[in-house]
Amino acid sequence: MYYLKNTNFWMFGLFFFFYFFIMGAYFPFFPIWLHDINHISKSDTGIIFAAISLFSLLFQPLFGLLSDKLGLRKYLLWIITGMLVMFAPFFIFIFGPLLQYNILVGSIVGGIYLGFCFNAGAPAVEAFIEKVSRRSNFEFGRARMFGCVGWALCASIVGIMFTINNQFVFWLGSGCAL
């Protein structure tokens, strides 16, 4: 129970909660948003997912090198958080319209943003918090459990919100990043 008095445990546990809450708003509903809201075909959806995967593969080794160089400095964490604040404006005002304009340009821009924030960002965030947990003497798994709770809570409420107005989901994600 010593970890309950550790401020880093609570701070990074809450970070995990909100990070995975936002991720829970994105991952399960992304294909629905593409098809039902933006009327993207299945083949174009494949192009979008391929672009996200490509940029994830490019960013992951870069984030690994950066994480090793930065150590316990939070620069990468702040950059990812700043990009998450832009979650709603990105989806509503940039990504959606770009996909309507040109599927390839939209896929590249979306691949960069989503690959950076989530697919490559999640391992970088977890690696950083794992380093902090060793330094601050708290168990990483206990802090990581906050992320599981965040995802589960999000999955419980976002589906309802998505049927009311899909933009609520994105604004909720941006709000959680603040």
**What pLDDT is stored for residue 156 in this prediction?**
83
**What pLDDT is stored for residue 64 in this prediction?**
86
Q: CA torsion angle for 60, 100, 36, 115 (degrees, to 10)?
A: 0
pTM here is 0.89
Average pLDDT, consecutive stretches of 10 residues, N- to C-terminus, the chain (178 residues)? 77 91 88 91 94 94 86 84 92 93 95 92 89 88 91 87 84 85
Residue 127, CA atoms < 13 Å, CB-side half-sphere: 18
Q: Which tokens belong to 92?
A: 């509503």
Alpha-helical (H) ranges within the chain are 7-26, 30-32, 42-70, 75-85, 87-89, 96-101, 103-114, 121-136, 140-164, 166-177
Report the distance separating Cα 46 and Cα 106, nearest Å: 13
Nearest to 72 by CA among 149, 9, 120, 130: 130
Residue 34, CA atoms < 13 Å, CB-side half-sphere: 21
Residue 90, classed as helix, strand or coil, is helix
Report the distance separating Cα 32 and Cα 40, nearest Å: 10
Structural domains in the chain? Answer: 2-177 (1.20.1250.20)
Nearest to 177 by CA among 35, 43, 82: 82
**What pLDDT is stored for residue 3 in this prediction?**
66
